A = this chain, B = another copy of it.
Amino acid sequence: MASAINPRLPRIWHGGDYNPEQWPRATWDEDMRLMQESRFNVATVGVFSWVSLQPAEDRFTFEWLDEVLAKLTAADRFVCLATPTMAHPAWMSQAYPDVLRADDTGVRRHHGRRTNYCPNSPSYRRFGRAIAERLAQRYATYPGLVAWHVSNEYGGACYCDTCADKFRQWLHAKYASLDELNQRWWTAFWSHTFTDWSQIEPPYNNGETLTAALTLDYRRFQTQSMLECFKLERDAIRQHSHDVPITTNMMGAYVHLDYRAWAPELDVISWDCYPWPSADPGDIAFLHDLHRSLKDGQPFMLMEQTPSSQNWQPVNALKRPGVLRLWSYLAVAHGADTVMYFQWRRGRGGCEKFHGAVVEHGRSPSTRVFNEVSELGAELERLGEATLGARTPARVAVLFDWENWWAIDSAVGPINNKEYVATVRRWYRALWRRNVGVDVVFSDSDLSRYDVVIAPMLHMVKEGVADRIQALLERGGTFVTTVFSGVVDETDLAFEGYPGPLRPLLGVRIEEVDALYDGQTNHILMSDASATYACSRLCEIVHAETADVLATYAEDFYAGTPVLTRNRFGAGQAYYVATDPEDAFLDAFVDKLLAHHGIAAPLEAPPGVEVAVRERDGQRVLFVLNHTAETTHVPLPADPSYRDLLRGMAVTGKLSLAPRDVRILLLSS
């Protein structure tokens, strides 16, 4: 039951952003030829075309787009058609200033850059909906259309008066009474009690920056405001285009938008993957798993990646030969059903003229990058639909939650350097290094399919979370959480005693939290004397109530007190890690959890070699990725038998992988 994103194109899509409106017509024909040569088969068109499609409020110029789409069809290419609403035209800002975003002091910005609109602007919403609808009306029946791409990289926040007004309405709807809001926000502190709704303002940087509950609600309000923009366009499109999937491209662990709240509104998740050139592949894998998990495992689109270098980082190193292919398959291994680029052709001007592209300024197809893209395109054709729609089996989950992130970041104390995302990533990577499938879960996720759930720094414990964890434990599952957990509820009110609703599950009580200066450490002394590990940043002083003490602090006035505890609850076990341990601890700890549940890697592989699995219709496909710059070997068990999908042949014995090489194996047991 292979399920392509769109059955019109049942293979891994290979393509990316294409901006023909920046170029003379003569270039378009060259584009078609080169796209064919490089197996670039899906062009994302229209992302920044608003002024080209609507040069004045009442004038529309779709003719060039008609022509481009016709050429793409003629060249046997497909189209991911974007609405152009990320970057609105200057004429709009000029005629309808409410369109412009205001900065965090409430001052309206000048026109410029992009994502510079107010998501609550009536004018923006009216124009945005209208252009989306016109595109849908005109192109719904375009034969090459495989997906709708609404706007682009939603993000940021606006603090204009329109937003302020709507925020007050939003709060009124949420809290019903001012008393309730004042109580939930604990406004009696510092005499912040509101006596009229009209007194409430956004968390202006030169205003109320220190009421965390206000900041939290404003973040919720802004992510919802932008989601409303998306939905307006999506609904307008859907009226005319009934069966083409609609998406918008996300940006990983992006602080401003709670993508989990967005996911149900998208037909398919898509995202733009721009790691640092020196990134750990485990961190990239985490982000792929995050996006796959947004819709609970549904395969996603890799909408953008650079074929060579980025341009907006402090240092934009080139992707080394083979890395484009390696990281493309990394995405596929973790659930991507597309491999797409930003962008097809480098513009001669604009701030991204030094961003990598398939076709460089020199227009030559005989470049390293064009060749790597073309070879990958050809290879993806050979792979065909073998992996399409396949799911990632995972018995382990790591919990990540945007609102928890916001709450942790807005907490004043006990340390500035809170590192929520980095901490989640470190726990994730310990699992990733073991080559076991990992899902990301959220506070609202169903945990019933997991054996192990690790929730680093679960500071905010929302309604229902403790119940779901309890169910996990009762049926024999393992739950882990760490320092600074169980502290606040959904409006950032502290529980009267930590870890709040997790206390009966974890069997511990937290009395104090100590903060360590950079470079300062304490140590974790395992009670079985098996090892000692460094820990840093935060050290909680814990009382074991019903929990067993598995390790204690080695130093300072709390030496000998618990730092690692295990509470047997139901048939399961709940661990508390009261500090931020070094990686060696994570590795050893994770090994024990996996062993306890009999969770093992699909293949034994040397360090730096990743093995990931996708499954469909009872078939398993293994991705073996050599992230190292060395040739390496992976022994294959005699049974089951493996078929190399790219080479089209059976493999046995020992798999040899060249530096940065990838193998894709179909298991037949």
Is B91 in contact with A492, judged by CB distance below 8 angstroms? Answer: no
CB distance from A488 to the nearest CB of B (A): 8
CB distance from A198 to the nearest CB of B (A): 7
Is A206 in contact with B103, judged by CB distance below 8 angstroms? Answer: yes
- Work out how many copies of this chain go into the complex: 3
State whether A199 and B111 are in contact (beta carbons under 8 Å apart), knowing that A103-B206, A349-B185, A496-B361 are contacts in the complex: yes
- Kindly specify which of A51-59, A426-434, A632-640 makes contact with the partner chain: A51-59
CA distance A416 to B310 in the complex (A): 12
Instruction: Among A103, A417, A493, find the residue whose CB has the most chain B CB atoms closer than 10 A.
Output: A493
The answer to the question of A249 belonging to the interface, with a C-beta cut-off of 8 Å to chain B, is no
State whether A353 and B494 are in contact (beta carbons under 8 Å apart), knowing that A87-B191, A194-B90, A362-B511 are contacts in the complex: yes
CA distance A413 to B413 in the complex (A): 37
Is A191 in contact with B88, judged by CB distance below 8 angstroms? Answer: yes
The answer to the question of A584 belonging to the interface, with a C-beta cut-off of 8 Å to chain B, is no
Is B361 in contact with A497, judged by CB distance below 8 angstroms? Answer: yes
Q: Chain A 51-80, CB within 8 Å of chain B: the 1/0 string? A: 110011000000000000000000000000
The answer to the question of A109 belonging to the interface, with a C-beta cut-off of 8 Å to chain B, is yes
CA distance A561 to B347 in the complex (A): 27
Q: Chain A 36-59, CB within 8 Å of chain B: the 1/0 string? A: 000000000000111110011000
Is B354 in contact with A51, judged by CB distance below 8 angstroms? Answer: no
The answer to the question of A273 belonging to the interface, with a C-beta cut-off of 8 Å to chain B, is no
CA distance A305 to B50 in the complex (A): 55
The answer to the question of A114 belonging to the interface, with a C-beta cut-off of 8 Å to chain B, is yes
Of B204, B316, B515, B518, which contacts A316 at CB under 8 A? B515
The answer to the question of A176 belonging to the interface, with a C-beta cut-off of 8 Å to chain B, is no
List residues 85-99 of chain A with CB under 8 A from any CB of chain B. 87-91, 93-94
- Kindly specify which of A229-237, A317-325, A472-480 makes contact with the partner chain: A317-325
CA distance A187 to B89 in the complex (A): 11
Q: Interface size on A (CB < 8 Å)?
A: 112
Is A190 in contact with B350, judged by CB distance below 8 angstroms? Answer: yes
**Interface of chain A: mostly helix, strand, loop or mixed:** loop
List residues 283-323 of chain A with CB under 8 A from any CB of chain B. 308-312, 314-318, 320-321
List residues 150-205 of chain A with CB under 8 A from any CB of chain B. 184-196, 198-199, 201, 203-204
CA distance A468 to B292 in the complex (A): 58
Is A311 in contact with B353, judged by CB distance below 8 angstroms? Answer: no
- Kindly specify which of A219-227, A363-371, A444-452, A650-658 makes contact with the partner chain: A363-371
The answer to the question of A529 belonging to the interface, with a C-beta cut-off of 8 Å to chain B, is no
State whether A211 and B351 are in contact (beta carbons under 8 Å apart), knowing that A191-B84, A364-B497 are contacts in the complex: yes
State whether A314 and B201 are in contact (beta carbons under 8 Å apart), knowing that A87-B191, A210-B351, A494-B348 are contacts in the complex: no
Is A114 in contact with B190, judged by CB distance below 8 angstroms? Answer: yes
Is A354 in contact with B411, judged by CB distance below 8 angstroms? Answer: yes
The answer to the question of A606 belonging to the interface, with a C-beta cut-off of 8 Å to chain B, is no
Is A517 in contact with B315, judged by CB distance below 8 angstroms? Answer: yes
CA distance A350 to B209 in the complex (A): 11
The answer to the question of A22 belonging to the interface, with a C-beta cut-off of 8 Å to chain B, is yes
Given the complex, which residues of B lie within 8 Å of A485, measured CB to CB?
A: none
Name which residue of chain B comes closest to A366, CB basis.
B511
The answer to the question of A455 belonging to the interface, with a C-beta cut-off of 8 Å to chain B, is no
Is B278 in contact with A368, judged by CB distance below 8 angstroms? Answer: no
CB distance from A367 to the nearest CB of B (A): 6
The answer to the question of A412 belonging to the interface, with a C-beta cut-off of 8 Å to chain B, is yes
CB distance from A41 to the nearest CB of B (A): 24
The answer to the question of A352 belonging to the interface, with a C-beta cut-off of 8 Å to chain B, is yes
CB distance from A57 to the nearest CB of B (A): 10
19 A-B contacts (beta carbon < 8 Å)? A55-B195, A56-B195, A89-B191, A103-B206, A109-B206, A113-B190, A186-B349, A186-B350, A187-B349, A189-B349, A189-B352, A190-B351, A311-B413, A312-B413, A316-B414, A317-B514, A346-B494, A349-B493, A361-B495
* 12 additional A-B residue pairs with CB within 8 Å, beyond A89-B195, A210-B351: A94-B198, A186-B348, A187-B350, A309-B514, A312-B412, A317-B514, A318-B513, A348-B493, A349-B493, A361-B497, A362-B511, A367-B511
